[in-house]
Structure 1
Amino acid sequence: MDGCTPSLTSLREGDTKALAALFDREDSDEIETDISKYLLLLWPEPCWEDDSFDFLREYL
């Protein structure tokens, strides 16, 4: 089986400390708020008009 992905290994202590330091920030709440604000700007507009059941009128 050449080219297979090797099995996952557990994180070393140094890796764990580096990840903890990366995510242990005082401004993480501000970053989360910022990300949420920008994601809401990307929310798609509905593709239908105001009356979403208008297409059913001909069948009723």
Structure 2
Amino acid sequence: MQKPHSDGDESDFKVVNAEELALNLLRLFEQGGRVMTGFIERADAKMGPYSAAAEFSEATNT
């Protein structure tokens, strides 16, 4: 059984440097964009279980 959450409790996670966290998150999204661009531009145009179209279709189902 879960304990009820009180609004006064401190979180176990504290952001020490919010600016560094924000920069790292932006880098994460930037790198993810590069990965997706490379994935889309991949020369493998065959339709199959690992084609870009099949992977995007599967990703949108989640």
Instruction: Place the TM-score, normalised by the shorter chain, in its bin.
Output: 0.3 to 0.5
The structure showing larger relative contact order (alpha-carbon pairs under 8 Å, at least 6 residues apart) is: 2
User: What TM-score results when the alignment is normalised by the length of structure 2?
Assistant: 0.38
**What TM-score does the superposition give when structure 1 sets the normalisation length?**
0.39
Which of 1 and 2 has greater Rg? 1
